[in-house]
Amino acid sequence: MTTSNPQQTSAYHTLDLEGVRTFIASLPSIAGRLGGTPEDWHVREVSDGNLNMVFLAEGPQGGICLKQALPHVRVDPTWKMPLDRTFFEASWLRAIFPHVPDLTTECLHFDAEQFILIVPSLSGHTVMRTALMAGQYHPAVAAQVGDFVARSTFATSLLAEPFERVMDRRICFARNQTLTRITVDLILIDPYHDHPRNHWADPQLTPIVAALRNSPSVLARIDSLRLHFLSAPQALLHGDLHTGSIMTNGTDTRIIDGEFATYGPIGFDAGLFVGNLILSFFATPDRAGQAAHLDMIQTFWTSFTKCFLDLWQNREWAEDRSTLYYATTDKSTQNFEKSLFIQNIFQDMLGFCATEIIRRLVGYAHIADFSVLTDQPTRTTRQKAALLFAKDCLEQKKPLKSLADFLELLYQNLSTP
């Protein structure tokens, strides 16, 4: 893959619907996938995220999804942004696809001048957030996301590969600085300070925001999480694993939109996913729906840990000694060290989960989930409960040692208004 240099973009221009058709027609292998002739193709724009243009093109034989970076944030043209994010999404796909071919899309084409990425279309799939808002809960999806996090992070970590290969990949993704800066600012700094990008609908949330900003242990924990995010390159992360980055038909599930990919702590991906499940939990009107959310969290964590530890176990026959960790010691020490490793991911997950909840309620980029609660006082009550839950997770006045502690705290916060 050639590297993307935002300076060399003389040929770049933003594609419209006809441009997409012409562009695809110029690529025989992609055109062949669609079948027929360009006139037979149905091309439409489906951009719904903040950043990029996204098109679907369907032909008689198949469909593709084409994503192009804009030189600015899609929803805010005054916010300028380099184009290279598509390069990082393509690089991320190429790095992880061999390990999760059933859980993401293949990079079919990447154009380093136009910053265009083409992947297969997921035409029968729904965005997971949309499914959750419609009350469709599939425990299988949570298990698949757990597998995805386990397989993609394990494969790109020091546990699976000689450090030289890990370092080469770190070198690549350490250049994804524009989007990493967005994560740092929008998730790990802004909500804890006055910033024009912050906003929240109901003034009733203001005292809780103030309480977060006045809590020494919240502020210290946020700084520790930021330092950790930037100095613990355990594995290649998706970097933005919210329920809008997951498409599913209930059986088949695909993780998309890896443009925030960066090396970081595994608990960051897990935390963002669980944080979004928890936001959805607090936005769910009925008890049965709420219980289904707790099931999904439980299922996600169980499947993540099982899959991760199985992969680790299978490494014991590795040839290269430098990639073996805790393999030469006795079984009980080995199990102890491995569970410590998982326990550290768990604590990271709790922390990053809390930051995700907070930033989605009082930061720049909100989520749609709460719109299903049409009664405004209920919505506010639930948002307050979600924020207070996040505060508890960060402060851990009562330590959260297990997933059971965590789920118990969640129920408590739902019932205490």
Ligand X SMILES: Nc1ncnc2c1ncn2[C@@H]1O[C@H](COP(=O)(O)OP(=O)(O)OP(=O)(O)O)[C@@H](O)[C@H]1O
Tell me which residues touch a copy of itself (CB under 8 A): 158, 163-164, 166-168, 170-171, 174-175, 177, 180-181, 184-185, 189, 192-193, 216-217, 219-220, 223-224, 226-227, 230-234, 321-322, 324-326, 328-330, 332-334, 336-337
Is residue 215 within 8 Å of residue 192, measured between CB atoms? no
Query: Measured at CB, which residue is nearest to ligand X?
Result: 49
Strand positions, DSSP E, 198-274:
235-237, 246-248, 253-255, 262-264
Q: What CA–CA distance (Å, rounded) separates 258 from 237? A: 8
**Nearer to a copy of itself among residue 130 and residue 177 (C-beta):** 177
x/- mask, ligand X, residues 18-47, rule CB under 6 A, reads ----------------------------xx
Count of residues in contact with ligand X, rule CB under 6 A: 20
Q: How far is the CB of 23 from a copy of itself (least distance, A)?
A: 32
Report how far apart the first and last C-alpha atoms of the chain are (Å, whole number): 53
Which among 146, 229, 228 has a CA at the least distance from the CA of 180? 229
Work out the burial of residue 139: count CB atoms within 10 Å of its CB; fewer than 13 is exposed, 13-18 middle, 19 or more buried.
middle
- Is residue 187 part of the contact set for ligand X (CB under 6 A)? no
Neighbouring C-alpha atoms within 13 Å toward the C-beta of 92: 31
Closest listed residue to residue 35, CA positions, set 46, 45, 25:
25
Residue ranges in 59-78 that form contacts with ligand X under rule CB under 6 A: 65, 67
Task: State the binding partner of 303 from ligand X, a copy of itself, none, CB within 5 to 8 A by kind.
Answer: none
Q: Which entry of ligand X, a copy of itself, none binds 344, CB below 5 to 8 A by partner kind?
A: none
Nearest CA to 341 among 381, 367, 308? 308
Q: Which is nearer to ligand X, 54 or 307 (CB)?
A: 54
244 binds ligand X per the rule CB under 6 A: yes
- Report yes or no: 61 and 35 within 8 Å, Cβ to Cβ: yes
Q: Which does 294 bind (CB under 5 to 8 A by kind): ligand X, a copy of itself, none?
A: none
Question: Among 4, 52, 280, 380, which residue interacts with ligand X (rule: CB under 6 A)?
Answer: 52
Positions that interact with ligand X (CB under 6 A): 46-52, 54, 56, 65, 67, 105, 119, 121-122, 127, 244, 256-257, 259
